Amino acid sequence: MPARSSWKGFLKLSLVSVPVKAYTATASSSGEIRLNQLHAECHSRINYKKTCPIHGEIPNDQIVSGYEYSKGQYVLVDTDELDKLRTEDEKAINIDAFVPQNNVDPTYFSGKSYYLIPDGPVGQKPYALLVQGMVELKRNAIAQVVMHGRDQLVLIRPVDGLLNMSILNYDSQVTKPGAFSEEVAKPTAEGEELKLAKTLIEASSPKKFDLGKYKDLYTAKLTELIQKKVAGEEVVAPPVHEQAQIINLMDALRASVEQVQKAQPEGAAAKPPRKMAPSVGKARPAAKRKSG
C-alpha cells in the first residue's frame, strides 16, 4: 500500500457517511525515464531558480500566494484562509446519483483515478454494503468532491471489492463529436468489404484478453540506449522493415485477415466465413410424353 493517502474525508450517500482515504491508482514512478535539460557546451544541468526582481533568489519558505486584482496589485491569500473556505460538506465525496455501468462515455475521463479505502474500523461495514449493493445492481455512482483546490466531478465504481474513483471532465470541457462531422465523409459500408472488415475484427478478438501483456517498449528501448551510451558502446539503429503498400481496400482487408489468423490461430474469436461458390442449377431434361 502507498506510504500516504492523497485525500481523507467522507463518502456520503444521503444520511450515510463512510470515512474513507483516497490513494492514487497509478504508481508514482511507473518506470518513467526523465531526461534533464543540459547546456550543450559544457553539459551542465539547466537550473530554474525562483527569483524576486528586487531581492533576487529567495527560498520556498518566503513564498506566499496572492491574486493580481489590478496591474501590479495583489491581495494575499493564506493557506489557512483557504482551509476555512471548506465546509463539512466539501470535506466529503457527495454521491448525487447512481447510473448503469458503462453509462458514462470514456471521453469524459480525465485520466486521474483513486482507490477509496475505509478509514478505520467504523467505516468497514457501510463500505462493504455499498460495494456489494453497487455490484449486485450493476450501478456506478456520480459524485462531487473538492480536491486540488476545485470542485471535481467523479465516477465511483466497484472494482475487485474496492471502490475506484475517477475524475471526470465537466460537459463544458468535452468537445462533442459533432464538431468534426464535416471532416468525416459518409461512404457506404456494405457488401464484401463490410464482411471482410467484420471478419478482421472477429479474428482480432481474443477469447481471453490480458491488458498486462502490453508493455512500455519505448521506455525499455530508452533504458537500453542510456546503458549503452554510459558503457561507451555504439548505438546502431535497427533495420527498417518496409511493408508492401496495398492500395486496393479489398486486397488490404484480405491480407490483414490472413496475417491476423496466422498470428493468433488459437485466440481468434471466430473463423472467417467460408467462401461458397455460387450455385448454378443444371437444367433437367424435359420428360418425354408417352404417346397414347
pTM: 0.65
Which helix (DSSP H) or strand (DSSP E) does residue 192 occupy? Answer: helix 191-203
Which helix (DSSP H) or strand (DSSP E) does residue 93 occupy? Answer: strand 92-100
**String of DSSP letters for 42-81:** T-PBP----EETTTEE--GGG---EEEEETTEEEE--HHH
Cα end-to-end span (Å), the chain: 101
User: What pLDDT score does 276 carry?
Assistant: 41
Interval 194-227: pLDDT, tens? 888 888 888 888 888 887 887 777 778 778 888 8
User: What pLDDT score does 12 carry?
Assistant: 92
Interval 233-257: pLDDT, tens? 777 777 766 666 656 777 777 788 7
Query: How far lies 85's CA from each of 7, 81, 89, in Å?
Result: 17, 7, 11
pLDDT above 80 (res 183): yes
**String of DSSP letters for 96-162:** EEEEETT-S-GGGEEEEEEEEEE-SGGGHHHHHHHHHHHHHHTEEEEEEEEETTEEEEEEEEEETTE
Query: How far lies 30's CA from each of 22, 25, 216, 219, in Å?
Result: 19, 11, 10, 10
